[in-house]
Amino acid sequence: MAIEFYKGFDTYVIYGEETSYGAGASPAAGNKIGKVTNVSLNMNNNMIRSQSMGDGRNATSSVAGPFDVSGTLDFDVDDFTFMQYAIGTIQGSGTAADPYELVELDNIGYDATNIPTIALEFGSEGDATDDVTTVSGVVLSGLTLTANAGETLKGSCDWIGKVPTASTSLESYTPSTNAPFVFQQGTVDISGDSFQCTSFSWTLSNNIQTYRNLGDRFIAQPTTGLRRYDFSITFRFKYDDTGGVMSGTELRDIFFGASNTPTTGGALTAKNVSLDISEGAASGDRVVAIDLEDCFINDWTQPMPLEGGVFEITVNGYGHKGLTDSGDLVPIRWYTVA
C-alpha cells in the first residue's frame, strides 16, 4: 500500500490566459505570480438536504447545489505582470522611456479593451503520484500590496473561479530567480512631498458580481462592480519644516481640510499618493511606481500611551483612480534600468 503526502515546498502555482470564459487554458511554467508563500483553495458543493412531512426527523435525500470555488494567494512581490488580471491590461516595453504600465479597464472580456479571465494551476509533487488542480474561469476580486519596515513587499489577492479539474500531470516548474522588492527601497510620496512612514498598504477591490444560469451548477461569466482603491499609512508623529518633506502635522491639516481645525464643510483638496520603489540606478536595477490620484484621508487614529516612545499614527484613505497618463489610468508602472 502506497501513502503519499503533498507539501507546500513541493507545490507550484502558475496561470494561463483564457480566450473565452471557462474554456480553460494551458498554464505555463513561466507564468509565475511571485514568490508564493500561502494558498487557500476553497470548494463547496452547497449540498441541499430534503425531506417531506411524514419522513421523520432525519433528512431523506440530498442533491448537489450550486458549486463554488474560490481562494486566496499570498506572495512576496518580485514582478507585477500577474496583477494585470486585477486591473486591466499591460502595455509598454519595460524601459525608462517606455515602462510597463498596468492600465485600468472596465469589463471582463476577450479583446484588447477588456480584462480576460485565467486558469490557475496548483501542482504538488508526490513520491510516485503527483496531484494537480486546475481552476478555469478565474477572476481576481481583490488585490493588496503591503510594505512594512524590515520586510519584503507583500502581495495578496482573492479570486473566484468556475470549475476545478484534478489530474496528475505536473508542469516542469523552475522557481523564480528574481529578488523580491524590500521596504528599504521604497518611499511614500504625497503630491510631490516625501513622507516618512513605517507601513503602507494599497488595496484594490473589484467588487465582482457573480450569477448562475438556470440548469448550470457553475457560475456564468462574472461582471465587474465598482472599482475601489484604499490605502493605509502608519507613521511616527513629528513636526518637520524641511522643504520637500511632509510631516505628520502637515498631513493632519490635509486630513482636516484646513489649518489646525477641520473645515466646516465642502470639498477637501485632493492629493496624489504614491509608493515609489527603486533598487538603484545601475544596470539591471528595477524602478516601480504605485500611484493613486484624487486621494483623501478618511480617518485618523492617534494612540498616546505613557510608554512606547514616539506616537505612531495610522490613517486610512482612498483614491478615485490610478494616475492619469495620456488618457490612460495607470495605478502601477515599472521598468528595469538599462
Contact 220, 214 (CB under 8 A): no
Query: Residue 1 has what pLDDT?
Result: 61
CA distance 70 to 207: 14
Average pLDDT, integer, range 75-99 = 97
CA distance 173 to 294: 42
> Does residue 39 lie within any of the structural domains?
yes
Give the model confidence (pLDDT) of 278-316 as tens digits. 999 999 999 999 999 999 999 999 999 988 789 999 999
| φ, ψ dihedrals at 12, nearest 5° | -115, 160
> Does residue 51 lie within any of the structural domains?
no
Q: Residue 146: name the closest of 83, 74, 84 by CA.
A: 74
Query: Residue 211 has what pLDDT?
Result: 95
Query: Residue 186 has what pLDDT?
Result: 84
CA distance 66 to 85: 25
Q: Which CA distances in Å does 204 have to 37, 88, 195, 292?
A: 20, 12, 22, 11
> Does residue 3 lie within any of the structural domains?
no
Q: Is the pLDDT of residue 327 over 90?
A: yes
- Residues across the chain: 338
Of 81-95, 223-237, 300-314, give the lowest mean pLDDT range. 300-314
Query: Residue 14 has what pLDDT?
Result: 97
Q: Is the pLDDT of residue 76 over 70?
A: yes
Of 133-142, 171-180, 219-228, give the lowest mean pLDDT range. 171-180
Query: Residue 3 has what pLDDT?
Result: 85
Mean pLDDT of the chain: 95
Residue 154: domain span: 9-46+65-169+178-336
> Does residue 52 lie within any of the structural domains?
no
Query: Residue 4 has what pLDDT?
Result: 85
Q: Based on the number of CB atoms within 10 Å of its own CB, is 112 exposed (0-12), middle (13-18) or buried (19 or more)?
A: exposed
Q: Is the pLDDT of residue 223 over 90?
A: yes
Q: Is the pLDDT of residue 33 over 70?
A: yes
Top-confidence residue, 266 or 252: 252
Contact 210, 218 (CB under 8 A): no
Give the model confidence (pLDDT) of 125-157 as tens digits. 998 899 999 999 999 999 999 999 989 999 999
> Does residue 2 lie within any of the structural domains?
no
Average pLDDT, integer, range 271-279 = 95
Half-sphere exposure of 227 (CA within 13 A, CB side): 16
Q: Give me the percent of the chain exceeding a pLDDT of 90.
A: 92
> Does residue 94 lie within any of the structural domains?
yes
CA distance 109 to 107: 6
Confidence grade of residue 93 (pLDDT, cut at 50, 70, 90): very high
Q: Three-state SS string across the chain, please?
A: CCCCCCCHHHEEEEEEECCCCCCCCCCEEEEECCEEEEEEEEEECCCEEECCCCCCCCCCEEECCCCEEEEEEEEECCCCHHHHHHHEEEECCCCCCCCEEEEECCCECCCCCCECCEEEEEEECCCCCCEEEEEEEEEEEEEEEEEECCCECEEEEEEEECEEEEECCCCCCCCCCCCCCEHHHEEEEECCEEECCCEEEEEEECCCECCCCCCCCCCCCCECCCCEEEEEEEEECCCCCCCCECCHHHHHHHHHCCCCCCCCCCCCCCEEEEEEEECCCCCCCEEEEEEEEEEEEEEEECCCCCCCCCCEEEEEEEEEECEEECCEEECEEEEECC
Domain count, the chain: 1
> Does residue 154 lie within any of the structural domains?
yes
> Does residue 1 lie within any of the structural domains?
no
User: What residue type is assigned to position 298 of the chain?
Assistant: N
Q: Residue 291: name the closest of 199, 197, 207, 191 by CA.
A: 191
* pTM recorded for the entire structure: 0.94
CA distance 8 to 323: 38
- Give, in degrees to the nearest 5, the angle at Cα 264 between 258 and 266: 85
Confidence grade of residue 231 (pLDDT, cut at 50, 70, 90): very high
